[in-house]
Amino acid sequence: MIIVLKPKHTPKELTALLKEIKRLGYKPHVMRGVARTVIGAIGDERSHQSLDVLRAWSQVESVTPIQKRHKLVSREAHPQNSTINVRNVVIGGPELVVMAGPCSVESEKQIIETAHGVKSAGAKILRGGAFKPRTSPYEFQGLGEKGLKLLAKARKETGLPVITELLSEDHAELVAEYADILQIGARNAQNFQLLIAAAKTGRPVLLKRGLSMRIDEWLSAGEYVLSNDNAGLMFCERGIRTFETYTRNTLDLSAVPILKNETHCPVVIDPSQGTGRADLVVAMCKGAVAMGADALLVEVHPDPKTAKSDSAQQLSLGAFGQLMKELQPFAQAAGRL
């Protein structure tokens, strides 16, 4: 830890602070500059109390940790890329994985037709919302358990593994019974008890970035999954809230190389939520693949204009098929099979 003192501290205050640092189990090293005095405190936060408590001392200006809080998700803990095997679909390996399906499961006909359509175009995983976190309580909230059963039926017919969103700790076991991957949405990205409940099901967890979440906060949230004995964590960039209004969110593709540098976990991009515009999905998918994303999460509907949720950002089955064709040279250029 690095502790910076305020300019006008007294020798007595410095002595008291050094004594407290030693009491907390750290070895202090004083560095005196022209305008500031800095203390380097050496010790392991995993076995000692955090020095963050020193922020309350009147003579302290700042306390900065050197050791990363997200230890298990970092490449320091696991230098090699992690892979996640879901019913023989490997996420994080050499092959680009596309997860596709409707924003919401609406009916048996809709989800079965979509599942067959996206599989024939090359998708490896079926996505679909059974429980929907809607901004307004008057919007379609999903079919709940009925939607989960329809996803399971679509999996049985097509062989596609299923990813769906988990909204509540109370539903963790229920959703895990039907789904192969649990998605934690942007609104719940720092719902730590939900993350723990998801991790404890043993299912892989796709953690979306929060609406205004810094990357270090996102990585720390992911730590809750790995620290609860679940190695199946992947991060999904789905756009963040900015001042821009041309798109629903601002899709931060710079997150891909940053995450690739910081963590061993697979990186997924959701261009549908990321832009809110179907006409931008193809371009953002190409950019994501070129940046090194391991997987894509794309919303697809047999008839987007009649969709009960997020119709403007969903591709038709025909448009999805064209997307998959156009992605091939980008996947090859990025070294993806």
* Residue 72 is assigned to a structural domain of this protein: no
Task: Answer yes or no: are the C-beta atoms of 301 and 110 closer than 8 Å.
Answer: yes
Is 40 or 17 the better-scoring residue by pLDDT? 17
**pLDDT confidence of 104, banded at 50, 70, 90?**
very high
Does 267 lie in the same domain as 137?
yes
* Residue 310 is assigned to a structural domain of this protein: yes
Does 278 lie in the same domain as 205?
yes
Residue 33 has pLDDT above 70, yes or no: no
Does 53 lie in the same domain as 102?
no
Does 31 lie in the same domain as 168?
no
Does 155 lie in the same domain as 46?
no
* Residue 146 is assigned to a structural domain of this protein: yes
Is 50 or 245 the better-scoring residue by pLDDT? 245
The pLDDT score that the predictor gives to residue 130 is: 92
Does 126 lie in the same domain as 90?
yes
Instruction: Tell me the mean pLDDT in the region 122-131.
Output: 95
Spatial distance between the Cα atoms of 33 and 36, rounded to a whole number of angstroms = 5
CATH number for the domain harbouring residue 228: 3.20.20.70
Task: Answer yes or no: are the C-beta atoms of 237 and 251 closer than 8 Å.
Answer: yes
Q: Which of 64, 92, 118 is a domain's end point?
A: 64
Residue 32 has pLDDT above 80, yes or no: no
Does 122 lie in the same domain as 163?
yes
Residue 170 has pLDDT above 70, yes or no: yes
Does 270 lie in the same domain as 183?
yes
Instruction: Tell me the mean pLDDT in the region 12-28.
Output: 91
* Residue 60 is assigned to a structural domain of this protein: yes
Does 172 lie in the same domain as 297?
yes
Is 180 or 62 the better-scoring residue by pLDDT? 180
Instruction: Tell me the mean pLDDT in the region 187-192.
Output: 96
User: Is residue 103 helix, strand or coil?
Assistant: coil
CATH number for the domain harbouring residue 35: 3.30.70.1140
**pLDDT confidence of 257, banded at 50, 70, 90?**
very high
User: Helix 192-200 to helix 215-226 angle, to the nearest 10 degrees?
Assistant: 40
263 forms beta bridges with: 74
Percent of the chain with pLDDT over 90: 74
**pLDDT confidence of 68, banded at 50, 70, 90?**
low
* Residue 76 is assigned to a structural domain of this protein: no
* Residue 7 is assigned to a structural domain of this protein: yes
Residue 311 has pLDDT above 70, yes or no: yes
Q: Residue 240: which of 211, 263, 262, 218 has the closest Cα? A: 211
Q: Which of 34, 64, 94 is a domain's end point?
A: 64
Spatial distance between the Cα atoms of 254 and 252, rounded to a whole number of angstroms = 5
Spatial distance between the Cα atoms of 33 and 296, rounded to a whole number of angstroms = 50
Percent of the chain with pLDDT over 70: 94
Q: DSSP label at 330?
A: H
* Residue 243 is assigned to a structural domain of this protein: yes
Cα angle vertex 221, ends 216, 223, to 5°? 95
Does 19 lie in the same domain as 125?
no
The pLDDT score that the predictor gives to residue 135 is: 66
Strands 37-42 and 27-32: antiparallel
H-helix or E-strand spanning residue 39: strand 37-42
Look up the pTM and report it.
0.82
Does 147 lie in the same domain as 39?
no
Burial environment of residue 67 by CB neighbours within 10 A (0 to 12, 13 to 18, 19 or more): exposed
The pLDDT score that the predictor gives to residue 66 is: 62
Task: Answer yes or no: are the C-beta atoms of 123 and 163 closer than 8 Å.
Answer: no
Q: How many domains does the chain have?
A: 2
**pLDDT confidence of 27, banded at 50, 70, 90?**
confident
**pLDDT confidence of 262, banded at 50, 70, 90?**
very high
Residue 14 has pLDDT above 80, yes or no: yes
* Residue 73 is assigned to a structural domain of this protein: no
Does 312 lie in the same domain as 229?
yes
Domain of residue 38, residue span:
2-64
pLDDT averaged over every residue in the chain:
92
